Amino acid sequence: MDAILLQILNGLDKGAAYALIALGLTLIFGTLGVVNFAHGALFMLGAFCAVTVGKLLKYETVKLDPTQTTPWGSPAEIRTPIVEEWFGDFGALMIDYSVPFSILFAIPIMLLLGVLMERGLIRFFYKRPHADQILVTFGLAIVVQEIIKSQFGANPIPQAAPALLAGSADLGAVLGFDPGTVVYPYWRIIYLLFSALIIGIVFAFLQFTTYGMVVRAGMADRETVGLLGINIQKRFTVVFGMAAVVAGLAGVMYTPILPPDYHMGMDFLVLSFVVVVVGGMGSLPGAVAAGFLLGILQSFASMNEVKNILPGIDQIIIYLIAVVILLVRPRGLMGRKGVMES
């Protein structure tokens, strides 16, 4: 039982990552009608916001120590992070909390990147065929990825969670299991709660603001909304920026779980498209539900008990579920009719 509970937690955690990326993809697709293959790159850029902040905080003064030399003959270096020099213990604390701290930076940066991307490129593709959109955003994703690679290298760059949150919570005690049987890392719990918060904010925004109403109306019927004389262009830009922020924040918060590298966006891209389609193109609740559903099913499929019966099932479970759902429900879990069918 504890094993199953743990797998549900794993699934929710995994699902949270899928859901956040899929949410942004769906927002963009539903409102703007654009298939954005660069969305994974936005997720990756978010993660690299954290990397950059971490690097900046750890920017060090270098003093050479001529008394010692490295094995290759140059003088040894003594490095001190500048923030520690300036702020002392508070500086050390800032370094420790660099990942949560990055969120403050990631929001404006991702918003800016999103707006730039929409204004500079995407808006020229609203009326173009989906194939063109896919190709141009895919090209953009490669370009962004290669730029990051040239700046940060190809290897993963570790980002530690704050020391206080590095341990695990004993959920077993809380839920009435034996102590120590259901332990779960604090950071993963935080990630889950954070995702729920973001999803909540996005839905609240769409539900309760006039802005959101226009966006929802646009998702339902773009042409009509355009006819109402609303400046739809401006709203499109904001939606794209918002989707970029959601993807970016998902990236920032994921870094302690998965040390980021330049390729992480591509790794998530295909999966998140499967999630979006299983949820139903253009359906926000569908994207979120599919994210969690696939996350949980993937976790269960990875259990030894399951794998012993069906070897390799964890390799294909997501795709298998996608096939079954699309055959049973032609437009995914909550898809509307007529979207992306021709």
Partner 1 sequence: MSLFDDKFSRRGVLKTGLVGAAAATAPFHFVRGASAADYLNMPKGKSVTFGFNVPQTGAYADEGADELRAYKLAVQHINGEGDGGMLNTFSSKALKGDGVNGKKVEFVTGDTQTKSDAARASAKRMIEKDGAIMITGGSSSGVAIAVQGLCQEAGVIFMAGLTHSNDTTGKDKKANGFRHFFNTEMTGAALAPVLKNNFGTDRTAYHLTADYTWGWSQEGSIKKYTEKLGWKTAAAVRTPLGAGDFSQYITPVLNSGADVLVLNHYGKDMVNSLTQAVQFGLRDKQVNGKDFAIVVPLYSRLMAQGAGKNVQGIYGSTGWHWSLTDEGSKAFVKSFGKAYGFPPSQAAHTCYVQALLYADACQRAGSFAPCDVLKALEGFKFDGMGNGPTEYRAEDHQCFKDVLVVKGKENPTSKFDVLEVVEVTPRAQVEYPADLLGGELGSCNNGA
Partner 2 sequence: MSQKLEKIKSPLDMEPLTIEVHDVEASHRAKTARNDLILMVVFSAVVLGGPWILAPFGADYPDLLQRFCIFGIFAIGFNIMFGLTGYLSFGHAAFLGVGSYAAVWSFKLLTMNAVPAVIFGVLCAGLFSAAIGYISLRRAGIYFSILTLAFAQMSYNLAYSVLTPITNGETGLQLELSDSRMLDAAMGIERTSSLPVTNLFGMKMSGYEGFYFCAIILIIAFYISLRIFRSPFGMMLRGIKTNQNRMAYTGINTRPYLLTAFVISGMYAGLAGSLMAVTDPLAGAERMQWTASGEVVLMTILGGAGTLIGPVIGAGVIKYFENIFSAFNEDTLHAAYSFLPEGLADFMTTISHPFVGEGWHLTLGVLFMMIVIFLPGGLMEGAQRIANLFSGAGKKSKAESSATDTQPAE
Binding stretches for partner 1 (CB under 8 A): 2-3, 6-7, 9-11, 13-14, 17, 70-74, 77, 79, 149, 153-161, 166-168, 181, 183-185, 187-188, 256-259, 261, 263-264, 267-268, 298-299, 302-304, 307, 312, 314-315
Among partner 2, partner 1, none, the one that 153 touches (CB under a kind-dependent 5 to 8 A) is partner 1
Give the DSSP letter of residue 126.
T
CA distance 142 to 138: 6
Among partner 2, partner 1, none, the one that 229 touches (CB under a kind-dependent 5 to 8 A) is none
Among partner 1, partner 2, none, the one that 257 touches (CB under a kind-dependent 5 to 8 A) is partner 1
- Closest distance between partner 1 and the C-beta of residue 298, in Å? 7
Cβ–Cβ under 8 Å, residues 115 and 241: yes
Among partner 1, partner 2, none, the one that 342 touches (CB under a kind-dependent 5 to 8 A) is partner 2
CA distance 2 to 339: 42
Burial class (CB in 10 A: 0-12, 13-18, 19+), 151: exposed
Q: For every residue of 267-308, which 3-state class applies, written as one string?
A: HHHHHHHHHHHHHCCCCHHHHHHHHHHHHHHHHHHCCHHHHH
Which 3 state secondary structure label does DSSP give 311? coil
Among partner 2, partner 1, none, the one that 39 touches (CB under a kind-dependent 5 to 8 A) is none
Q: Is 69 in the site for partner 2 (CB under 8 A)?
A: no
Residue 134, H or E segment: helix 130-152
Report the residue number, 108 or 139, with the smaller CB distance to partner 2: 139
Report the residue number, 186 or 211, with the smaller CB distance to partner 1: 186
What tokens were used for 143? 């370009």
Among partner 2, partner 1, none, the one that 188 touches (CB under a kind-dependent 5 to 8 A) is partner 1
CA end-to-end span of the chain: 46
Q: Is 326 in the site for partner 2 (CB under 8 A)?
A: yes
Burial class (CB in 10 A: 0-12, 13-18, 19+), 196: middle
Report the residue number, 118 or 261, with the smaller CB distance to partner 1: 261
Among partner 1, partner 2, none, the one that 143 touches (CB under a kind-dependent 5 to 8 A) is partner 2
Cβ–Cβ under 8 Å, residues 49 and 331: no
- Closest distance between partner 1 and the C-beta of residue 333, in Å? 22
Cβ–Cβ under 8 Å, residues 77 and 62: yes
CA distance 320 to 5: 23
Report the residue number, 305 or 341, with the smaller CB distance to partner 2: 341
Rule CB under 8 A: which residues touch partner 2? 35, 121, 124, 128, 130-132, 134-136, 138-143, 145-147, 150, 270, 273-274, 277, 281, 311-312, 315-316, 319-320, 322-323, 326-327, 330-332, 340-342
